[in-house]
C-alpha cells in the first residue's frame, strides 16, 4: 500500500517522472553551492541573485517568448552583471557586499516584473516567478542536466580552494595573489548558473529555496564539511520527492510544495538535530549539572 502511494505517480505519469528527474539533478548541483554560501555567510546573496536574474529572463521572454535558451542566457547575463556591479560598488564605497546586493536585486526584481507586464499576462508572470515544475519537458531536463554536470565538475576542481576560502580566506589571499578573486567569481557564476537552471522548474523566487534550505538544515546534523554536503544533497532529493507527492495527492502547486517540504525539514533540524536548539540546551544543562557535582 505504502509502496503504491509512493511510487505509482512516478511510474504511471510521465510529467511526474520528468519533474522528479529535473528536481533531482538540480538538488545534486545546487545544494553543495548552498552549503558553501552558508559557510561564507553569503546566504542572502543567493536570494539576491535569484531575484537579480529576473530582468534578463524577462528580456529573453520579450524577444523570444517562452524560449528556454533565450531566457536562460538573459538570466545568466543579468545575474553576472548584478554580481559584478555589486562587487564594484563594494570596492569603491563604504557599503558591504550584502548591502550593495540588496540595492541591486530590489531594483532588478521591480524591473523584471515591469518588463514581463509590458507584453505578458498574469499567467506568464506567475510562471516566471514560481515556475512550472510539472510542465518540464525533455529540453528542460537536458538543460538542467548539463548545468548540474558542469557544476559538479567545477566544484570538484575548486573544492580545496573553496574550503580554504570558507575557513581561512586570509591564508588564500596571502599565498595566491589574484587567485581568490578568480575562485570567488567562478563560484558566483556557478550560483547564477544554477539559479538560471532552477527558474524553469521552481521560478525565480523559489529556486533559491532548494539551494539554501537543505544546506542550512544539514549544518544542524553534521559538523564536518563532507558530511554536511552529503546530508544537504539527501535532504534536497528527499524534499523534491516528497514535495511532488504532496502536490499530487493534495492538489497543491508543485514548486511551493517542494520548498515547503524543505522548510519543514529545516525547522525539524533546528529543533532536534545534533547541532539543533534542543540538543544544545540539553548538553549545556548536562555540563552545568556535572560542574555542580564537581
Cell of 113: 516584473
Q: Which residue has the higher pLDDT, 176 or 73?
A: 73
Chain segment 158-182, per-residue pLDDT in tens: 888 888 777 765 555 555 555 667 7
d(C-alpha 17, C-alpha 38), whole Å: 31
Task: Give the model's pLDDT for residue 46.
Answer: 76
**Rounded mean pLDDT of the chain?**
81
Look up residue 135 and give its DSSP letter: G
Look up residue 157 and give its DSSP letter: H
Assign residue 158 the CATH number of its domain.
1.10.3470.10
Taking 70 as the threshold, does the pLDDT of residue 94 lie above it? Answer: no
d(C-alpha 288, C-alpha 290), whole Å: 5
Percent of residues, the chain, with pLDDT higher than 70? 85
Task: Give the model's pLDDT for residue 207.
Answer: 81
Task: Give the model's pLDDT for residue 263.
Answer: 93
Taking 70 as the threshold, does the pLDDT of residue 288 lie above it? Answer: no
Per-residue pLDDT band at 86 (split at 50, 70, 90) = confident
Largest CA distance in the chain: 74
Taking 90 as the threshold, does the pLDDT of residue 112 lie above it? Answer: no
Which domain range does residue 106 map to? 2-293
Structure pTM?
Answer: 0.84
How many structural domains comprise the chain? 1
Give mean pLDDT, residues 110-122. 74
Chain segment 180-225, per-residue pLDDT in tens: 677 888 888 898 889 888 877 887 778 888 889 999 999 888 888 8
Task: Give the model's pLDDT for residue 151.
Answer: 93
Among positive and negative, which fits the CA dihedral 286, 288, 292, 294?
positive
Task: Give the model's pLDDT for residue 58.
Answer: 81
Task: Give the model's pLDDT for residue 242.
Answer: 92
Residue 205 near residue 50, CB atoms below 8 Å: yes
Q: How many Å is the Cα radius of gyration of the chain?
A: 20
Task: Give the model's pLDDT for residue 116.
Answer: 75
Per-residue pLDDT band at 291 (split at 50, 70, 90) = low
Task: Give the model's pLDDT for residue 60.
Answer: 82
Look up residue 93 and give its DSSP letter: S
Chain segment 221-266, per-residue pLDDT in tens: 888 888 999 999 999 999 999 999 988 888 888 888 899 999 999 9
Task: Give the model's pLDDT for residue 100.
Answer: 75
Cell of 30: 545546487
Q: Which residue has the higher pLDDT, 146 or 65?
A: 146
Q: In sequence order, what DSSP letters do the residues of 20-43 get, joined into one string? A: HHHHHHHHHHHHHHHHHHHHTT-H
Q: Which residue has the higher pLDDT, 83 or 19?
A: 19
167 contacts: CB under 8 Å, gap ≥ 6 = 39
Taking 70 as the threshold, does the pLDDT of residue 34 lie above it? Answer: yes
Amino acid at each position: 500500500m505504502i509502496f503504491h502511494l509512493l511510487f505509482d505517480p512516478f511510474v504511471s505519469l510521465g510529467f511526474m517522472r520528468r519533474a522528479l528527474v529535473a528536481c533531482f539533478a538540480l538538488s545534486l548541483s545546487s545544494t553543495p553551492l548552498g552549503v558553501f554560501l552558508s559557510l561564507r555567510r553569503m546566504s542572502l546573496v543567493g536570494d539576491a541573485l535569484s531575484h537579480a536574474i529576473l530582468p534578463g529572463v524577462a528580456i529573453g521572454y520579450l524577444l523570444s517568448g517562452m524560449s528556454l535558451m533565450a531566457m536562460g542566457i538573459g538570466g545568466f547575463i543579468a545575474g553576472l552583471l548584478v554580481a559584478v556591479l555589486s562587487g564594484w560598488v563594494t570596492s569603491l564605497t563604504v557599503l558591504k557586499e550584502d548591502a550593495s546586493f540588496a540595492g541591486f536585486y530590489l531594483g532588478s526584481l521591480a524591473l523584471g516584473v515591469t518588463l514581463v507586464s509590458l507584453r505578458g499576462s498574469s499567467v506568464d508572470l506567475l510562471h516566471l516567478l514560481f515556475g512550472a515544475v510539472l510542465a518540464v519537458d525533455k529540453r528542460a531536463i537536458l538543460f538542467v542536466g548539463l548545468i548540474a554536470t558542469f557544476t559538479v565538475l567545477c566544484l570538484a576542481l575548486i573544492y580545496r580552494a573553496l574550503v580554504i576560502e570558507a575557513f581561512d580566506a586570509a591564508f588564500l589571499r596571502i599565498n595566491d595573489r589574484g587567485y581568490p578573486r578568480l575562485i570567488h567569481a567562478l563560484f558566483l557564476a556557478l550560483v547564477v548558473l544554477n539559479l538560471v537552471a532552477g527558474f524553469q522548474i521552481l521560478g525565480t523566487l523559489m529556486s533559491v529555496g532548494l539551494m539554501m534550505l537543505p544546506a542550512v538544515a544539514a549544518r544542524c546534523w553534521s559538523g564536518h564539511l563532507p558530511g554536511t554536503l552529503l546530508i544537504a544533497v539527501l535532504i534536497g532529493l528527499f524534499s523534491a520527492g516528497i514535495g511532488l507527492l504532496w502536490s499530487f495527492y493534495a492538489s497543491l502547486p508543485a514548486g511551493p510544495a517542494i520548498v515547503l517540504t524543505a522548510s519543514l525539514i529545516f525547522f525539524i533540524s533546528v529543533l532536534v538535530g545534533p547541532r539543533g536548539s534542543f540538543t544544545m540546551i540539553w548538553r549545556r544543562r548536562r555540563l552545568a549539572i556535572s560542574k555542580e557535582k564537581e
